[in-house]
A and B are shown apart, each in its own frame.
Chain A
Amino acid sequence: MTAPTPDQAPNPGPTAALSLRGLAKRFGRKIAVDGISLEVPAGSFFGIVGPNGAGKTTTLSMATGLLRPDFGTAVVHGVDVWQHPLEAKRLMGILPDGVRLFDRLSGEQLITYAGLLRGMDKAVVAARVGELLAAMDLTQDAGTLVVDYSAGMTKKIALASALIHAPRLLVLDEPFEAVDPVSAANIRSILDRYVASGGTVIVSSHVMDLVQRMCDHVAVVARGRLLAAGTVDEVRNGMSLEDRFVQLVGGHSHTEGLEWLRTF
């Protein structure tokens, strides 16, 4: 297990797909991310876990060029995300959490749009859109407007939009939320094959079981700080990841209130 602090962050080697150094962000008086340094080795399936409000989404947003950090740098395959955003974004496929989609487009149109925005060739886009729709099991609903999709279908179409340009690094924020088990298994096999062929995947989640089974590396984030990072076996230290996580983050809290519910 390693717990790097900002000053002893490892050097970004050529093998790092993503290298964060001292990333920090403050919203008003709340410090959302408090100096996170992290190395994601190329070709790894990397899980980021943490309780709600830990700063996972904020960190990933800063790493992918969606949110400008107050301090720190993010480097993707040797390209600084904030110095050369266009080059860096070409290397990344991003599935942000909690953002809307252009949902008045049909599913097919949305993926096509994502491809064309990246300046891809029309024929290539058309071919990949068909395959992605099939892989996500959305062929039957390709012409339905995304606004009429269920939550899981929406997640899948957003994931497809992030894959269309064959990125070297995939950053997926909560990719399995609301996705049915069959689709989740399909997506996981897609991602496994992607990693096997040299791609890097970063997923955030708070389903420990999933991360333990799926990922080879994991980082634990809480209250805006990195608590642990390394291979899954290093981090869990002989325990299950869930137990180790609760131990790292701190115990349960008891929920009070809701008495009015009993007056019926």
Chain B
Amino acid sequence: MVAHLLRLKLTLLRNGLRRSPWQLVGMAIAGLYALGVVATLVIALVLLRGAGPVTAHTAVVLGGSAAVLGWGVVPVVASATDMTLDPARFTTFAIPMKQMLAGLALGGLIGIPGLATALVALSTVATWSRGVLPALAALLGACLGVMTCVVLAKTVTTATASLAASRRFKDISAIAFMVPLVLLGPIVAGVGRGISASTGFLPEFTRSLSWTPLGAPWALGGDIASGRPAEAGVKLLLSVVVLGALAWCWKLLLERALVTPPYAGAGKRRGGKLGLFGVLPATPAGAVMARSLTYWLRDPRYSGSLVVIPLLPVVLAFQGTQTGSYGSLAFLAPLAAFILAWSISADVSYDNTAFALHLATGVRGVADRLGRALACLTFALPVVLVFSLGYAAFTGNWTALPGQLGLSLGILFTGLGLSSVVSARYTVIVPLPGDSPFKKPPGNVGQTMAVQFVGMLVLIVLVLPEGALLVANAVTGNILFGWLTLAAGVVLGLVLFLAGVRLGGKWLDARGPELLAQVTVNR
């Protein structure tokens, strides 16, 4: 039975790869990456054999604890859990609970994260091969540790399965996950500095950690090697009890999950609230604008990129505190303008086949383009204005404001015009509607990269006038050039905006069915 479950998992994995060569490429890249990380860690652990027992102990316990924590947290937040052996799919089969648990737990080890964790954990045996007893203790600890990882992940995902099936939870967790990702640089740097500031901190921290379920199994080898068999015994007992308790919780949760499938339905809501559709003008363009704005708020694929915007100044300001010069903050407004304007360059790809409604209703291309661009502009314009004014207030250099504003507005208007053209003609690979914003389906990677790259090049060429005037302003210090930049940004930008909307609309009218056929490939 256990063997059947494992074989099923392997078959599912193999068939998944057979579906598309790109998936194989993706898997190969992920595999190579994991192999690199695993090789580095294994070599490091083997080399640690020659290091002092305190150093080795600290490294092993910290790394092991991080692994357990990761297995517990990532599946929930990333909502990218490997659900190939989703217990809910076995509800109709009468599988004995014990064998089911064993099969699912071992199945959890198959796959890149499981194998990597197991390999790295087993190489701690090499670290502690300073005698027979420490090596055996490390082996026991590694097995316990890996099992704890897998069972913890299973317990947590089973516990949150009904929660994770609700769309609202998926949406919110996907957006929440964006925040630490954007702030990753500052967080890593901050933690690194904190650690290097106090050298005695880590061994101390390790000692406390090794008494918690996170670190206990990983401390066995080190404790024996350093001659603390009593501590090792207690920690062994702790690890076994924790693993047993987790498995018991998992069994209870699974038994419950098997008879109560996740209920994803939201409560009924009566109508009467048209939202933005009641506010904006009742024209085709107005309707498209209302629909786009609703999506910016409700679809995590859009709102995820909105979350990035307020974090931009944080990241740039942090860079300033590191280097001591806040010059990079000057890029804040133009960068935000670029990100927001370019964000609608894949709008039709984001619609996916829902775009068929636009085609079926015969809405004119210009109305479609204008609605989408105006929707983005309604919040992008205030953001760019606030960022430009904020920068001027921060530096106290108000004479630089017209130039800054000119370039930023130029990028915003020109970029929206260009995006309107690009999304009317080319489709790119984007996460599917309802999927996590981090989950890109396999597809035509080449075209995606080409569209992005060439599009940005064209944008740079189109805003060259504003850029040149801004440089003239900076070099001569003559504020006239600053005002000229502002004029160019607004006038030239708006001209290109309208030209882009018209050209994009024309292309959309001519090639709507072809565009729908392109997005149909990627559903």
Using a CB–CB cutoff of 8 Å, the interface residues on chain A facing chain B are 64-68, 85-86, 88-90, 92, 94, 96, 98-109, 112-114, 116-119, 121-122, 125, 133, 139-145, 147-148, 161-162, 263-264
Contact = CB atoms under 8 A, between A and B. Distances in A.
Contacts of A140: 268, 270
Contact of A114 (B269, B282, B357): B357
Contacts of A103: 354, 433-434
A109 B275 contact: yes
A211 B298 CA distance: 40
A25 to B, nearest CB: 10
Given A67-B513, A68-B514, A148-B266, A109 B361 contact: no
B332 to A, nearest CB: 30
B277 to A, nearest CB: 5
Of all A-B residue pairs in the complex, the 4 with the closest CB atoms, nearest first, are: A142-B271, A89-B362, A143-B269, A116-B287
Contacts of A106: 269, 271, 273, 275
A65 B523 contact: no
Contacts of B266: 144-145, 148
A214 to B, nearest CB: 23
A64 B277 contact: no
Contacts of A108: 271-274
Given A90-B362, A121-B282, A263-B4, A99 B353 contact: yes
Contacts of A162: 360
Interface string B239-266: 0000000000000000000000000111
B167 A85 contact: no
A117 B288 contact: yes
B286 interface: yes
Nearest to B361: A117
B264 A100 contact: no
Contacts of A121: 282
B513 A117 contact: no
Contact of B523 (A94, A96, A100): A100
B110 to A, nearest CB: 18
A248 to B, nearest CB: 30
A98 B353 contact: yes
Contacts of A104: 294-295, 298-299, 433
A109 B95 CA distance: 46
Given A105-B294, A117-B287, A161 B357 contact: yes
Contact of A102 (B357, B363, B514): B357
A113 B290 CA distance: 9
Interface in B277-309: 277, 282-284, 286-288, 290-291, 294-295, 298-299
A113 B278 CA distance: 11
A117 B364 CA distance: 9
Contacts of B433: 100, 103-104
Contact of A143 (B270, B357, B362): B270
A101 B357 CA distance: 8
B291 A105 contact: yes
A86 B271 CA distance: 31
A144 B514 CA distance: 32
A243 to B, nearest CB: 34
A103 B357 CA distance: 12
A114 B277 contact: no
Contacts of B359: 65-66
A90 B360 CA distance: 9
Nearest to A93: B360
Contacts of B295: 102, 104
11 contacts: A67-B513, A99-B354, A104-B294, A106-B269, A112-B274, A116-B286, A141-B269, A143-B271, A147-B167, A264-B93, A264-B95
Contacts of B287: 112-113, 116-117
A59 to B, nearest CB: 14
B358 interface: yes
A66 B356 contact: yes
A89 B356 contact: no
